[in-house]
Chain A
Amino acid sequence: MSKITDMTATHNWSGQKLVSTDYMLFEAPRTKHFMTGSEVVKEAVKRATVDASVSYPITPQSEAAHLIGELWAEGYVGVYFRGENEFGVMSEVAGCSMAGARTITTTSGPGTLRAMENFAQWSGTRAPMQLILMARGINSPLTIQPDNLEVQYLLETGCMIWYAENVQELFDMSLAAFTVAEKPDVHVPIITAVDGFFVSHTREAVMLPEDDIALQPYNPYAAPLPPIDSEMPPGRFLRDPFVMKSNYISYATHASWQWEIRSAVERSKPYARHYLNGLVHVTGTEDAEIAFVTCGTASNQAKEAERELNKLGVKSKVIKLRTIRPFPEDELLEALEGVKHVFVPEFNVVGWLSNEVKAKLYGKSDANIVGAPRVAGGMSMPAEAIIKEVMENINPGKGA
């Protein structure tokens, strides 16, 4: 087993050459592979100099968690074990991250909800770990189908949330995610989400850099709070009794801390813009009057609808949001210039994304925002369903 003490200035403990994130993402030569989402999680972790991972099985993320375990057995990951349940795992990874480790875990659907109390605790302690969320339906009745309702619950936890559309994005994003989450002026946890099965189990062509290079290690001593490792004096945040008392100072301290976490998430924008090549990706006709605002695999379906609509003489565009927290409000407004109808197709029944879009655009855009189509419980969203929704709205009574 490799040891952290084997690390040198140029190589990590498993002998990989240390490179910058820019080199890893933009410059390193890449070769083509054919892989599932679960497999590229392994490939990303393998190139990320990860110190710790704890896992618990739940479909569809179990395979990604198994593969991280294999990496540990191969000497690429420092600490790995199976926790007792998701609440335990999210607590264990909190401990790992607080103790100064670059830490990753994965979960899905019911696991996310079982662990819920932890996510706000992660952000409250500014621990920059990464959760790969392979979203799935929430019981009952029992389901393992694709659905991203659970993201609704995560929106206000204070964690960053990025959303990948496909296997390639999942690979690139999860490497960028560590880098951005660990920036000293950001330093908050990050949730990298994909739609379960559609991405986790789909085999796609993906371009990967060689596996003899890896990201620079995490430096816990650049963090805004001291790591819990007894190597420096305990920080004021951990020592002050403020938040434990009921008085004006404690209220003010808690409130300003909450705002600081949200500000830290906002401060990630320039970094995310750089590493993700923009917070939104726009495809379709530039001067379209119809726009789809999407994230994840709904973007893929919307792009297909956009191509079909174009054939029918209806010009549209797809604005894919790559970060949900922070919400790319300015980019969205810019992309909506001249747009009259906004459609938000999504893979969940509550329509959290359309609620977000409506709240962010309120008073700033005159576009008519339609929170549809919306599917749930693993139902598919064919391009026809999207086209039908558009036609019924722009051409009332006449249909598609």
Chain B
Amino acid sequence: MSHDIYKINPEFREIMPKEIIELEENATWAKNMDKPRGIKELPDTKELLEEHSLCAGCPEAAALRYVLSALPKPEDTIIVNSTGCTSLMFPHIALHTVHSLFGNQNAVASGIKRVLDWRFPDTQKDVVVLAGDGATVDIGLDYTLQSFFRQEKITTICFDNEVYANTGGQESGMTAKGQVFKMAPTGKKFDKVPMWELAKTSGCHYSVNMTASAPKAVAKAVREAILVAREIGPTYINLYTPCILEIGLSANEGLGEMKDQDKDRFASYKHVSPEAEEYLKKCKAEGLL
């Protein structure tokens, strides 16, 4: 999509919703040098996420804003989602997005990415998967890992809230051992799945585990992961975005919870393969990072 695509037909301008006009006038695209893209521009540029129906204060909503602000080339980015709380935000994103089924996001993304590479051999089209931990690590684990094995050039971002939030609080593979949730009435029986490590051993060239407490750090990881996926191979970001509702926090307590976990269970983990490292250096030199 060229950023000119958001040029509104003058005849329709009068009846266009305000958010579309703002998108044309004030959104940031990769080619837009007046308003460069990045987390710093968030306060005074048009965001690609208009509104959403997540719980007030849900860290997933903030994390999605950071992710969208960090896309290196949104006009050529497709985001694939899965059923869950995140799917409530998807219809509001001003990009091509797909919500297909619960768990098949990496398979759908594989099809899309391969066809886009076939149809547009001269354009870089980025495909980013964004789904909950239930979708990524439970019902969809097969598809997630197989896309890594097959070296699909996509970035997978897991919004790890350690619970099935959208269905009312059941334990997931990512829930910590011992935690009592619905369907784990006597506490979860096995450890949190170390998905970031599985990602590494399954062929990801870049894998991080972090919380969404620091916008800049999230944006940096997203940008690096997408650039590596473009050239080298699959990348993975595990992002702790606690479900404040299910763990009983109020709207303003999500950030504190993430900060606490920064020093604890989510002390950062980062794997970058030698090829990816080399490539990121090059990107830095070219001003892409």
Contacts and interface: CB of A to CB of B under 8 A. Distances in A.
Given A52-B114, A95-B107, A244-B88, A233 B53 contact: no
Contacts of A118: 101, 104
A231 interface: yes
Interface in B259-280: none
B245 interface: no
Interface string B131-163: 000000000001100100010000000000000
Contacts of A97: 111
B1 A231 contact: yes
A93 to B, nearest CB: 6
Contacts of A241: 53, 88, 91-92
A121 B118 contact: no
Interface in B62-90: 75-78, 80, 87-88
Nearest to A92: B111
A52 B116 CA distance: 11
B98 A233 contact: no
* Residue from A118, A233, A240 having most chain B Cβ neighbours under 10 A: A233
A242 B53 CA distance: 12
A83 interface: yes
B94 A239 contact: yes
B100 interface: yes
* Residue from B92, B96, B116 having most chain A Cβ neighbours under 10 A: B96
Contacts of B91: 238-242, 244
B110 interface: yes
B114 A81 contact: yes
Contact of A228 (B6, B96, B110): B96
A78 B96 CA distance: 23
Interface in A94-144: 94-101, 117-118, 121, 125
Interface string B1-16: 1000110000000000
Interface string A27-48: 0000000000000000000000
Contact of B96 (A52, A117, A234): A234
A257 to B, nearest CB: 14
Contacts of B94: 234, 239
B115 interface: yes
B189 to A, nearest CB: 26
Given A54-B111, A87-B104, A230 B121 contact: no
Interface in A49-89: 51-52, 54, 78-79, 81, 83-85, 87-89
A359 interface: no
A83 B107 CA distance: 8
A99 B88 contact: no
A245 B53 contact: yes
B45 interface: no
B119 A51 contact: yes
B32 to A, nearest CB: 16
Interface in A223-254: 226, 228-234, 238-242, 244-245
Interface residues of B, number: 42
A229 B121 CA distance: 13
A96 B114 contact: yes
A349 interface: no
Contacts of A10: none
B16 to A, nearest CB: 12
A230 B119 contact: no
B95 interface: yes
Given A85-B142, A95-B110, A99-B119, A233 B5 contact: yes
A323 to B, nearest CB: 27
Given A81-B114, A81-B150, A96-B111, A228 B100 contact: no
A101 B118 contact: yes
A94 B6 contact: no
A84 B1 CA distance: 31
* Residue from B77, B93, B111 having most chain A Cβ neighbours under 10 A: B111
A179 interface: no
Contacts of A87: 104, 107, 143
A371 to B, nearest CB: 34
Interface of A: 3-5, 51-52, 54, 78-79, 81, 83-85, 87-89, 91-101, 117-118, 121, 125, 226, 228-234, 238-242, 244-245
Interface of B: 1, 5-6, 53, 75-78, 80, 87-88, 91-98, 100-101, 104, 107-116, 118-122, 125, 142-143, 146, 150
Given A95-B107, A100-B115, 14 more contacts: A52-B115, A84-B107, A88-B142, A92-B110, A92-B111, A94-B111, A98-B111, A117-B101, A226-B96, A228-B96, A238-B91, A239-B92, A241-B88, A244-B87
